[in-house]
Structure 1
Amino acid sequence: MLDVLLIFLVQIIFVPILTLRTVFMVKNENKKASVVGALEAVVYIFGVSLVLTGEQSIAAMIAYSLGFGIGIYIGGIIETKLAIGYTAYNVNLPSKNQELLDRLRNDGYGVTNYTGEGRDGYRYKMEILTKRSRERELELIIEMYEPKAFIISYEPRKFKGGFLVKSMKKRLKKKQQQEQSSATSA
């Protein structure tokens, strides 16, 4: 019975690690993926050795399957909480909403605004790139100013330059300077 419980627990640990490694690979975070992959291999080998050396019972198979399913669920929760990466939003509006543009820019979002022609006349489109951790905040702001906005979001794999990259570099440089000054004062 202890083996069955261990198989269940190993799956609950293994599958979230597998999920994170996959996410890191998709996001081109290869160094992180390799570290997590090494941990994944250790857990996997431990789990396989339990399965292969133990008695092949229905209970062990059920524990393996349930642990796998629960591990997928837990891995999804962990990935959502980590919110790795960025999301690009295309927001279509019936009229140019300067208040919304100003609010988004003041809150640190990089926004590019376009005018286009739709079926029923001119439309206004905003392109916004944000960290995944700020998605909900962005959606709430848009909803507050433009409840009928048409929104499409997607995850970009690569980007170069632009407002967001510059601001991230500035924040990183400022953080490094703060760390250096606190290290020299200590």
Structure 2
Amino acid sequence: MLDALLIVIMQFVLVPLTTLRTIFVVKGQIQKASMLGGVEALIYVISLGIIFSDLSNYLNMIAYAIGYSGGIILGGLVEKKLAIGFRTVNVSVLDKDIELIDMLRYEGFGVTVFEGEGREGNKRYRLDIVVKRSREKELMDLLNVKAPKAFVVAYEPTGFKGGYLVKSMKKASKQKLLKR
């Protein structure tokens, strides 16, 4: 019974680590991914060693499956809480709402405005906003209040070069260094 409990706990640790390792690999943070992978491998070998030492003990196998399933839920919660990375949010509106644009910029969001044309030749405006994932909900809440009829699409960018976001990140990191 103690082995089964240990297996569940190890899976609750292993699977969230796997989730984070995958995120770090996708985001190009290979050193962090490598360190997590080493810990992950150790936990994996220990838990499977316990299971393979007595294949007639079905409780250990069930514990592994339960721990794995629970670990997936836990990993998702951890990933959501950490909110690593950025989102690009495209907001399509019918009118060029200067008040909305200024408010978003005041709140610290980088906003680029494009003018386009709709199906019947009507002008449309697209706001491109790059936001840290940790602030995505805040942005969506503002948009729901200030532009409830807007068409909103969010996706994850794969790289950055220049622009408002890069400048503000560099400025923030310099300020952190000066505080030390």
Report TM bin, short chain: over 0.9
Q: Deviations over 1:22-50 (max 9, x none)?
A: 11111111111111111111211111211
- Matched with 1:113 is 113
| Aligned mates of 2:58, 2:127 — CA distance in 1 | 56
Q: How does the TM-score come out when normalised to structure 2? A: 0.96
Q: Could you tell me how far apart the structure 2 residues matched to 1:109 and 1:56 are? A: 58
The equivalent of 2:37 in structure 1 is: 37
Structure 1 residue ranges without an equivalent (≥5): 180-186
Aligned residue pairs: how many?
179
Return the offset for 1:54: 3.2
Listed as ranges, the matches of 1:2-151 within 5 Å are 2-120=2-120, 121-151=122-152
Deviations 1:56-110 (A, max 9, x none): 3222221111110000000000000000000000100011110110011111111
| Higher deviation after alignment, 160-169 or 48-57 | 48-57
CA RMSD of aligned residues (A): 1.0
Distance 2:177 2:90 in 1: 33
Task: Give the TM-score taking structure 1 as reference length.
Answer: 0.93
| Uncovered stretches (5+) of structure 2, i.e. residues with no partner | none
Contact kept? 1:14, 1:40, Cα under 8 Å:
yes
What is the CA–CA distance in structure 2 between the aligned matches of 1:61 and 1:49, rounded to whole Å? 12
> Percent of aligned positions with the same letter in both sequences?
47
Q: Could you tell me whether the CA contact under 8 Å between 1:8 and 1:67 is conserved in 2?
A: yes
| Contact 1:3–1:54 (CA under 8 A) maintained in structure 2 | no
